[in-house]
């Protein structure tokens, strides 16, 4: 399966700097095609500029969140239909930062995912345990509940992607061992199969401190179908350094 390398820019970038980044990436990917499927997920107000910067390249653009309703009185929110209409292909949902900062529950994430599927977007649903949950031996319990509760009904391996992002590995420079990543990805695939019939062909990404220096060993793990990258997606050099390390 072709790896998917998705850059989650989070709340980073201004108009000019994001143009430099998106154009630089598009140039790299056009000059070296076929290494991986590449997506960038900029902050909402930068999506249109990012789409025009990468047009003519195989890079796709995604949102970082959407509302569960199709439209309406929801100040500050963005509908999945608008993301799709602008030209986005995907949307990240249930990121641990949204679960923590905005109190998003798995039930809400599922409703958002349902809206995104209805709008024709690929959903990248994030799951992952906190350090306390991991230390208490609860990682699989927590992740299992997130999978059961967050995945939409009616998804397929073409429309649903799961990103495993241990909360304690995000932005910390720490990562689980390669064996731990492999084991959790096996667990996630089995659980997605049991709960939603989605195991075979499902793309499961790893996210959390992926860098050019650790990308090749992480991406070589069987069952790791790509990466969701935060900090290292913010420079052309680092993000390309991950893409070109795809096995
Ligand atoms: P970092 O790559 O900065 O650890 O962030 C990972 C992440 O949260 C991607 O969604």
Mean pLDDT for all residues in the chain: 97
Q: Where are the beta strands (DSSP E) in the chain?
A: 4-8, 37-41, 60-63, 90-93, 122-127, 160-164, 203-207, 226-229
Say how many Å lie between the CA of residue 207 and the centre of ligand 1. 6
Angle between helices 15-31 and 236-243 (to 10 degrees): 30
Q: Which of 104, 129, 165, 185 is catalytic?
A: 165
Q: What per-residue confidence (pLDDT) applies to 16?
A: 98
- Tell me: the pLDDT tens digits for 32-66? 999 999 999 999 999 999 999 999 999 999 999 99
Within a 10 A sphere around the Cβ of 39, how many other Cβ atoms? Answer: 26
Q: What is the DSSP letter of 102?
A: S
Q: Taking residues 98-110, report their average pLDDT.
A: 98
Q: Taking residues 53-80, report their average pLDDT.
A: 98
17 band by pLDDT with thresholds 50, 70 and 90: very high
Say how many Å lie between the CA of residue 190 and the centre of ligand 1. 24
Angle at 2 between CA 147 and CA 163, to 5 degrees: 20
199 band by pLDDT with thresholds 50, 70 and 90: confident
- Note the pTM of the prediction, 2 decimals: 0.98
- 95 part of the active site: yes
Q: What is the DSSP letter of 168?
A: G
Whose structure tokens read 């304690």?
168
Largest CA distance in the chain: 48
pLDDT of 192 > 90? The answer is: yes
Ligand 1 pocket test target in 8, 131, 174 with most atoms within 8 Å of CB: 8
Half-sphere exposure of 113 (CA within 13 A, CB side): 30
- Tell me: the pLDDT tens digits for 108-160? 999 999 999 999 999 999 999 999 999 999 999 999 999 999 999 999 999 99
For the chain, domains (ranges, CATH) are: 4-243 (3.20.20.70)
236 band by pLDDT with thresholds 50, 70 and 90: very high
Residue 26 and residue 227: Cα distance in Å, rounded? 18
Q: What per-residue confidence (pLDDT) applies to 103?
A: 97
From the CB of 231, is ligand 1 less than 6 Å away? yes
Q: What per-residue confidence (pLDDT) applies to 241?
A: 97
Say how many Å lie between the CA of residue 73 and the centre of ligand 1. 31
Ligand 1 atom closest to the Cα of residue 228 is 9
Residue 97 and residue 103: Cα distance in Å, rounded? 9
From the CB of 176, is ligand 1 less than 6 Å away? no
């Amino acid at each position: 399966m072709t790896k998917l390398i998705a850059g989650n820019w989070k709340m980073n970038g201004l108009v000019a700097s994001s143009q430099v980044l998106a154009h630089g990436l598009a140039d790299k990917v056009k000059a070296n095609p076929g290494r991986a499927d590449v997506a960038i997920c900029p902050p909402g107000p930068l999506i249109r500029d990012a789409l025009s910067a990468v047009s003519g390249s195989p890079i796709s653009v995604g949102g970082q969140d959407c509302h569960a309703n199709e439209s309406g009185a929801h100040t500050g929110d963005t509908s999945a239909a608008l993301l799709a209409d602008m030209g986005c292909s995907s949307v990240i949902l249930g990121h641990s930062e949204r679960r923590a900062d905005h109190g998003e529950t798995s039930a809400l994430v599922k409703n958002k995912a349902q809206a995104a599927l209805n709008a024709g977007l690929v959903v990248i649903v994030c799951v992952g345990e906190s350090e306390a949950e991991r230390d208490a031996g609860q990682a699989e319990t927590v992740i299992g509940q997130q999978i059961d509760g967050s995945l939409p009904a009616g998804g397929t391996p073409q429309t649903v992607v799961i990103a495993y992002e241990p909360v304690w590995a995000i932005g910390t420079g720490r990562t689980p061992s390669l064996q731990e990543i492999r084991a959790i990805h096996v667990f996630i695939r089995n659980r997605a199969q049991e709960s939603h019939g989605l195991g075979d062909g499902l793309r499961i990404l790893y996210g959390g401190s992926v860098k050019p220096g650790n990308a090749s060993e992480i991406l070589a793990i069987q069952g790791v179908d790509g990466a969701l990258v935060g900090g290292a997606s913010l420079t052309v050099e680092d993000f390309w350094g991950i893409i070109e390390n795809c096995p």
